[in-house]
Amino acid sequence: MTIPLRRLGKSDLMVTPIGLGCWQFSQNRGWNKYWPTLPEDEIEAIVAASLDGGINWFDTAEAYGGGESERQLSRVLQKAGRRPGDVIVATKWMPFLRRAGNIGRTIDRRIDCLSPFPIDLYQIHTPDSISSTEKTALAMAALVKAKKIRSIGVSNYGEKEMRRAHHVLAEEGVPLVSNQVHYSLLHRLIERNGILNAAKELGISILAYSPLEQGVLTGRFHDDPAALKAVHGLRRVRSFYRGQALRRSRDLIEALKQVAERHAATPAQVALNWLYSFHGEAVVVIPGASKRTQAESNVRAMTFSLGPADLDCLNEISRPLMDR
């Protein structure tokens, strides 16, 4: 089936409602070793399943294994027969303990890691640069003008920071396309802290990461608490995995199962569909995948429509669970 595309912000980038987050391709490299090493043939299968299902964009970052995720993504896209222009690639500059000048000094490294695929969306990973929001925005604008990147996004920016970046870029004639933030049925803080409303007002797309709370919204850990023992590394400390949190979210999981049954889907697929449907076209979603079957599940989430009753039901059940 043909998946309707939606525009990212005020750019010319047209993307599927669901992309693929590629943090899992970091191959256990980098400072926190959050994900285990994946066999290269499994990474190839994940990307192939995503492409076969119609997904046309991929999100990675410098911080994901110090460029390893970027290199893996380029490798497997080439192996799948994709060429520059066939897909949309987003990556991020890590600002921690860096100044704005580092953006221009390190962009060639990002380009090299992703070669031959261009950087369609370059994002500031967090607002934690030593330099001001204004200076980092200006450094990003310079990359657009030099044609080293196609468009600009931010990540983990609050409302005020996002507005400042938008204002500076607008004065340079460059739109702020997106803000990549944590958003799911179990984490809806952006609906209350001004980020979502401001993004809608300014024409900035929300890129929702951790949309399944790294497996919690699949219902897997509710059905089999022993599965928590297999959770890798630092993921184990996440609050949503704790017993009390799992008990509190059980009603939501049961509601997801009921909606899923009506659509011949899974709870995970319904959770993803709700996220990109509830606010019209304001939100797109980037679930990850560490297995081909998970990538296939992500694709399936775009093959059915949730009606108003389903959307409202899940909204009401999840609202009391917000941000806890």
pLDDT beyond 90 at 1:
no
pLDDT band at 323 (very low <50, low <70, confident <90, very high): low
pLDDT beyond 60 at 228:
no
Give residue limits of the domains in the chain: 14-214+264-305
Percentage with pLDDT > 70 across the chain: 89
Q: What is the mean pLDDT of residues 264-276?
A: 98
64, 122, 157, 183: which is the annotated catalytic residue? Answer: 64
Fold designation for 14-214+264-305: TIM Barrel (3.20.20)
39-53 pLDDT, tens digit per residue, is 999 999 999 999 999
pLDDT band at 245 (very low <50, low <70, confident <90, very high): low
Query: How many C-beta atoms lie closer than 10 Å to residue 192's C-beta?
Result: 11
Contact 91, 110 (CB under 8 A): yes
pLDDT beyond 60 at 324:
no
Which position has the higher pLDDT, 270 or 1?
A: 270
3-class secondary structure, 162: helix
Query: How many C-beta atoms lie closer than 10 Å to residue 158's C-beta?
Result: 16
pLDDT band at 322 (very low <50, low <70, confident <90, very high): low
pLDDT beyond 90 at 116:
yes
pLDDT band at 238 (very low <50, low <70, confident <90, very high): low
Phi/psi class of residue 28: alpha, beta or left (left: φ > 0; alpha: ψ in -120 to 50)? Answer: left
- The pTM is what? 0.93
Angle in degrees, 0-180, between the axes of helices 308-318 and 267-277, rounded to the nearest 10: 100
pLDDT beyond 70 at 225:
no
pLDDT band at 133 (very low <50, low <70, confident <90, very high): very high
Contact 93, 122 (CB under 8 A): yes
pLDDT band at 250 (very low <50, low <70, confident <90, very high): confident
Is 276 tagged catalytic? no
Distance, in Å, from the CA atom of 109 to the CA atom of 177, rounded to the nearest integer, reads 23
3-class secondary structure, 306: coil
Contact 229, 219 (CB under 8 A): no
203-241 burial string, b = 16+ CB within 10 Å, else e? ebbbbbbbbbbbbbbbbbbbeeeeebeeeeeeeeeeebb
**Pairing between strand 283-285 and 205-209?**
parallel
Half-sphere exposure of 213 (CA within 13 A, CB side): 27
Give the pLDDT confidence score for residue 200 in this predicted structure: 98
Contact 266, 1 (CB under 8 A): no
pLDDT beyond 80 at 243:
no
